[in-house]
Amino acid sequence: MKKLRHTASVPVPDVLHKDILSFLPVKTLMRFRCVSKPWSSLINDRDFSKSHVQRYINGGINTTNEFTLLIPSSLGLYCMDSNSLGNIVKLKPPLQTSPVDTINIIGSCSGLVCLITSYNFDMVIWNMSTNDYHKVRYHDNYVSQCPITFFGFGYDHESDDYKVVRILDFLPTYPHQTFDVQVYSLRSNTWKEIGSFQMVRFFMDMVENPVFVSGALHWSAYSKAESGLHSILAFNLVAENFVEVPRPAFLVSSQHCITFGVLEGCLSIRVSQLCCPNPTEVEIWVMKDYMVVESWTKLFSIGVRAPNFVDIPMAPLAYSNCGDKLLFHEYDRLYWYDKRKKIYERVGDQTFIQPEMSLRSLVSVSAYRESN
């Protein structure tokens, strides 16, 4: 019998530890913090959390399993696992709520979600995976003076900062809109007055929350010079100004209805034709190369289930694990759409008002505050 020879173990370099751990899901990493102090220090490191999120963006981790569907309601804030879409779990966000309050989602980015209450205007930036959070304060005098307020939330990659955008409309007038814009920096914990913007060429539609992608918040707008033709306006979080995003060349009719979303890290739109008396389908397009008009690409068409289907806002949320199904939010319901079979399957029998897809991550809110 051959005798086995003992060999000394070779220490694994720290850089290799970091690289291997960056491929693991958040729940596993949360448990691995208890393995040793060096591992805990590594996993809690801000640079590691950033590289871990980058793995999601680059497709190095199964992203569908790491997304949570957040569902606000009059009874509180709930979540569902985006892969199974099974049981609904009630969350306990760090907000002060009154009996008449509802919790609204401003936006979600890199695992951080920005929430605000409808009555007390209590605002928080919260990582629901780690329960790390920061309360956002703002000028109380604006709350009583401004009847119309819009919010957005996203990430400034150049300054490595998370920002809340607040748009104030004191005197809504037609045909011109004039907005005061404020930007909150998580890193500095301060609000900054950006200035007033008069929308001479456009009329902005701010009914829906803006979509954050490619470093900017995106709203639907209507061109005044082109008889209400659809346009796309974005607030760039690096430059902190409004820019026009090139619309698809086929959007030549004001009768088109569009809804924004994010698919595979790209700006996406759902397009239907309102003027068509018997619509048969809606189309899903993505801008594969941001700000390049030629990069608008049609992914597929979706058959219409009912004659009034196109009149209802329908937002694409995410692909299934296999990529053969697409999750949609339509009015107050969720549907899986099977692209191959061209059939719909409703998800549960609950109502879903403005659900938001949120990534699980280790990004620390406290680390940004402590870095000052």
- What does the pLDDT average to over 37-46? 89
Closest by Cα among 357, 363, 353 to 126? 363
What span, in angstroms and rounded, lies between the C-alpha atoms of 353 and 333? 8
Residue 162 has pLDDT above 90, yes or no: yes
Residue 2 has pLDDT above 60, yes or no: no
For the chain, report the end-to-end CA distance as a whole number of angstroms. Answer: 65
Q: In what order do the strands lie in the sheet with 112-117?
A: 103-109, 112-117, 123-127, 132-136
What span, in angstroms and rounded, lies between the C-alpha atoms of 118 and 192? 23
* Per-residue confidence (pLDDT) for residue 135, from 0 to 100: 95
* Per-residue confidence (pLDDT) for residue 59, from 0 to 100: 63
* Beta partners for residue 336, in sequence order: 327, 345
Q: Return the half-sphere exposure (C-beta side, CA atoms, 13 A cut-off) of residue 36.
A: 4
pLDDT tens-digit readout, 68-116: 889 887 778 888 876 666 677 889 999 887 777 888 999 999 999 999 9
* Beta partners for residue 335, in sequence order: 328, 346
* Per-residue confidence (pLDDT) for residue 96, from 0 to 100: 80
- What does the pLDDT average to over 39-54? 89
* Per-residue confidence (pLDDT) for residue 319, from 0 to 100: 77
308: confidence class by pLDDT, cuts 50, 70, 90: very low
* Per-residue confidence (pLDDT) for residue 237, from 0 to 100: 97
- What does the pLDDT average to over 45-59? 83
Spell 255-269 as b/e; 16+ CB within 10 A means b. Answer: ebbbbbbbbebbbbb
- What does the pLDDT average to over 237-257? 82
Which is more confident, 8 or 114?
Answer: 114
* Per-residue confidence (pLDDT) for residue 11, from 0 to 100: 64
* Per-residue confidence (pLDDT) for residue 342, from 0 to 100: 79
353: confidence class by pLDDT, cuts 50, 70, 90: confident
* Per-residue confidence (pLDDT) for residue 71, from 0 to 100: 84
